[in-house]
Amino acid sequence: MNIDKHIEQQYIMAREQYAAIGVDTEKAIDMTDRIPVSIHCWQGDDVKGFEYDDRELSGGIQVTGAYPGRARNGDELRSDMEKALSMIPGRHRVNLHAIYAETNGKKVERNRLEPKYFANWVDWAKEHGWGLDFNPTFFSHPLSDDGFTLSHPDRAIRQFWIEHGQVCRSIGEYFGRELGTPCVTNIWIPDGFKDIPADRFVPRERLEASLDEILKVPIDKKYNLDAVESKLFGIGSESYVVGSHEFYMGYAIKNGILLCLDAGHFHPTEMVSDKISSILQFIPEMLLHVSRPVRWDSDHVVLLDDELQNMMHQIVREDVYDRVHIAFDYFDGSINRVAAWVIGGRNARKAILTAFLEPSEKLKQAEIKGDYTGRLALMEELKTYPIQAVWDYYCLSHGILPRERWLDEVYRYEKDILSKRD
Q: What's the pLDDT score for residue 54?
A: 66
Dist. CA 6–CA 393, nearest whole Å = 10
User: Residue 88: CB partners within 8 Å, gap ≥ 6?
Assistant: 39, 341, 342, 345, 346, 349, 400
| Number of domains making up the chain | 1
- When pLDDT is averaged across residues 130-144 and rounded to a whole number, the result is 96
Tell me if 377 is assigned to some domain. Answer: no
Tell me if 368 is assigned to some domain. Answer: no
Tell me if 337 is assigned to some domain. Answer: yes
Tell me if 143 is assigned to some domain. Answer: yes
Which is more confident, 419 or 294? 419
Dist. CA 405–CA 183, nearest whole Å = 33
Tell me if 387 is assigned to some domain. Answer: no
Query: Is a pLDDT exceeding 50 seen at residue 1?
Result: no
Tell me if 369 is assigned to some domain. Answer: no
Measured on CA atoms in the order 369, 371, 375, 376, is the torsion positive or negative?
Answer: positive
CATH code for the domain in which residue 219 is found: 3.20.20.150
Q: pLDDT by residue (tens digit) across 362-404?
A: 999 999 999 999 999 999 999 999 999 999 999 999 999 999 9
Q: pLDDT by residue (tens digit) across 261-305?
A: 999 988 888 999 999 999 999 999 999 999 998 876 678 999 999
Q: What's at 330, amino acid-wise?
A: Y
Q: What's the pLDDT score for residue 238?
A: 87
**What is the residue-averaged pLDDT of the chain?**
94
Cα separations (Å) of 99 from 45, 129, 325?
11, 23, 22
Domain that holds residue 136: 35-358
Q: pLDDT by residue (tens digit) across 19-57?
A: 999 999 999 999 999 999 999 999 999 889 999 766 676
Tell me if 11 is assigned to some domain. Answer: no
Dist. CA 169–CA 215, nearest whole Å = 8
Q: What's the pLDDT score for residue 57?
A: 67
Active site residues: 188, 229, 231, 262, 265, 289, 297, 299, 329
Tell me if 365 is assigned to some domain. Answer: no
